[in-house]
Amino acid sequence: MMKKQIEAKLPTEWGKFTIMAYADNENDWMPHLVMVSDNTDFSKDVNVRIHSECITGDLFHSKKCDCGKQLDAAMKYIHKYGGILLYLRQEGRSIGIINKLKAYNLQDEGMDTVEANLKLGFPADARDFSIATDILTDLGITSINLLTNNPEKIKYIEKSYITLKKRIPLEIYPNKENKNYLKTKKDYFGHFLDLK
């Protein structure tokens, strides 16, 4: 089970947070990160966003996905209403940045994100969201509102000891570069998206 290695105060453009690093040991250079808004009320249902690392979207604002905009919207929401963002180090649906860029090249040849991952010999989605439930349990959180469009994240919560009170949609308006990406999310993975 993941252990909290360290925490520190972190003022951000969104507001004031406490950042925590979770890993098996303190020498892990790629720990999972937890951002807790200073105005979080732990006596109520806690707003939670489970966000998988996306260097291209989160850091470089890639238009090929909606990840960076989802991260920004989640941080704004969590600062305003209180809550926690879990930043899981599962780049490219857990295939890593190098393989993700290989998948990008296959997508440029006409494949969708699922076809590209399968062509490279990976599952369509190799992420493990039980990491999130382990961290939430360690933080003593028993009841949450989940910011997500992903039914798989909901399943992981429902299989845990954490009560899911409600789902908060986190839909980003598509652009021409990510419309097919979002369509694959909806059609293949069953994400709750309205792509009109």
- Give ∠ CA 31-29-132 in degrees, rounded to 5: 10
- Annotated catalytic residue: which of 66, 127, 167, 187? 127
Cβ atoms of 48 and 74 within 8 Å: the answer is no
| Beta-sheet pairing, 46-52 with 84-88 | parallel
How confident is the model at residue 90, as a pLDDT?
95
Please give the distance of CA 183 from its chain centroid, rounded to a whole number. 18
How confident is the model at residue 184, as a pLDDT?
85
Residue 155, annotated ligand binder? Answer: no
Query: Could you identify the residue written with the tokens 């996306």?
Result: 54
How confident is the model at residue 171, as a pLDDT?
85
Does the pTM surpass 0.75? The reply is yes
Residue 119, annotated ligand binder? Answer: no
Residue 53, annotated ligand binder? Answer: yes
- Residue 193 per-residue DSSP state: -
pLDDT beneath 50: ranges in the chain: none
State the Cα–Cα distance between residues 134 and 4, nearest whole angstrom.
11
Residue 54, annotated ligand binder? Answer: yes
Residue 49, annotated ligand binder? Answer: yes
How confident is the model at residue 190, as a pLDDT?
81
- Annotated catalytic residue: which of 45, 58, 112, 125? 125
Name the 3-class secondary structure at 42. coil
Tally of CB atoms within 10 A around 147: 23
In the numeric block, which tokens belong to residue 141? 């959180």
Domains of the chain by start residue, with CATH? 3-90+127-189 (3.40.50.10990)
How confident is the model at residue 194, as a pLDDT?
83
How confident is the model at residue 178, as a pLDDT?
82
Residue 45 a catalytic site member: no
Residue 127 a catalytic site member: yes
